[in-house]
Copies of this chain bind each other. A is one copy, B any other.
Amino acid sequence: MTPTPVDLLIEARWIIPVKPDNTTLEHHAIAVHDGRIVAVLPINEARSRFVATKTVSLPDHVVTPGFVNLHCHAAMTLMRGLADDLPLMRWLQEAIWPAESRHASHAFVRDGSLLAAAEMLRGGITTCNDMYFFPEATAEAFARLGLRGVLGITVIEFPSQYAADADDYLRKGLEARDAWRDNPLIRFALAPHAPYTVSNKSFERIGALADELELPIHIHIHETAGEVADSVREFGQRPVARLESLGLLGPSLIGVHAVHLDTEDIERLAIHQCAIAHCPTSNMKLASGAAPVASLLDRQLAVGLGSDGAASNNRLDLLREMRQASLLAKLQTSDAAALPAHQALRMATLDGARALGLDAEIGSIEPGKAADIAALRIDDPDELPCYHPASHLIHVLDRRAVSDVWVGGQRRVKHGKLLQITNTELLGIARLWQNKLRQ
């Protein structure tokens, strides 16, 4: 039999494909052609079945699907650690909103998103679901660095440097979507900021647009107890019930945070098969609480993981979020077996993809899917011995173990270095904005 030509063969010590569940393949290879995974098979078989233009050997590495960051505000990387150890409302009112109102612009968002995309790709993230002003500037940054993005068409009822009112936000966001229509890496979602910042009228328009254009809805929900109480006072309903009344709940809704849920809220989210973006570090850091992840998983909701923005985390790092999700679930349920390693990895990959409606395309290492792949080295004595690569991924490795990353079969990170941008340019961006924001 003549070997089939392929673009790329990735030969690895371990591959955790995520599908099938709980599987760690040893000495396997991934064949990639035209940006897609063609086969996953033992290295010896791969060498006889395929002849590759390029072979990458990863003898001490664990290879996983690229991570899906299900909730981010990429541009806020410019405000990383600007104001820590403050309660949520003081943090927003005294630090974040004043900085945004002075500085937010196309350039601010593009530059912040470049730093963010660099950080994410170097940490193995290949898809980011983002929400911020000037989404076209984030699209520009993600496309330049080759990060797959789902960009929020943000809607909020107050004016900003970006837009005047809800209609203006929608108009500008939809224009951005049209402008980026032909880029295979860039998609859009509707992103009403939160129930407490968006009116019923705007929600109705958003619901209609989501149906018509088949767009996901990306929204913060039930982050704090206060916003739930306010909603009951103002609308006579908890936010999730109000969204249900407005026809917003459904499989295309991604509810972010979802910390303060009662059993009825969970029931509503489950009936409508909503997805959840769990952001454990952000929820702990802002003292919001811990989302009832075990209950959400019991009800079969797609629960992915989000970093949130760097102003409230302070890293865009899904390795940290996987570990934190696992530790927090064990603490919360008093069960050391809760949220085991393979499940944490699935949340950071396939379940995030499912939440975005992209699970046919990304989220696991399976033939037919796009070759979004992360490789992590396990060869530092600090990280040895290694008995179980999946558990190592969650509890031992950190982001600097990420050595190589591909998005749609294109290499974005090689031996820990980004290929699309230099450190010099990134450092220049960080310094420029740090000086501006300091003033």
Most buried by B among A284, A333, A385: A385
Residues of B contacting A331 in the complex (Cβ-Cβ under 8 angstroms): 283-284, 287, 289-290
Using Cβ atoms and an 8 Å threshold, which residues of chain B touch A313? 395
A104 within 8 A of B: no
Contact of A85 among B340, B384, B427 (CB under 8 A): B340
**Cα distance A309–B317 in the bound complex, in angstroms:** 25
CA distance A341 to B86 in the complex (A): 11
Residues 97-141 of A, flagged 1 when their CB comes within 8 A of B and 0 if not, give 000000000000000000100110011000000000000000000
- In the complex where A81-B387, A331-B290, A395-B84 touch, is A336 in contact with B434 (Cβ < 8 A)? no
Chain B neighbourhood of A115, CB < 8 A: 381, 384
Q: Which of B78, B122, B285 contacts A330 (CB 8 A)?
A: B285
Instruction: Determine the chain B residues whose CB is within 8 A of the CB of A391 once the complex forms.
Output: 81, 84-85, 314
Instruction: Pick the interface stretch among A12-20, A240-248, A396-404.
Output: A396-404
> Looking at chain A, what size class is its interface with the partner chain?
35 or more
Q: Mark A319-349, 1 if CB is under 8 A from B, else 0.
A: 0000010011011011111101100000000
Q: Are A81 and B437 in contact (CB under 8 A)?
A: no
A114 to chain B, nearest CB (A): 9
CB of A182 within 8 Å of the partner chain: no
Chain B nearest CB: distance from A328 CB in Å? 7
Q: Is the CB of A81 within 8 A of B438?
A: no
Tell me the smallest distance from the CB of A128 to a CB of chain B, in Å.
15
- 9 residue pairs of the A-B complex, CB under 8 angstroms, read A84-B388, A88-B336, A119-B382, A286-B336, A287-B333, A314-B391, A315-B396, A385-B433, A385-B434
Known: A284-B331, A386-B434. 19 other contacts (CB 8 A): A81-B395, A81-B396, A82-B387, A84-B394, A85-B336, A88-B336, A91-B336, A115-B381, A115-B384, A284-B327, A285-B395, A313-B395, A315-B396, A381-B427, A384-B434, A385-B430, A385-B431, A385-B433, A385-B437
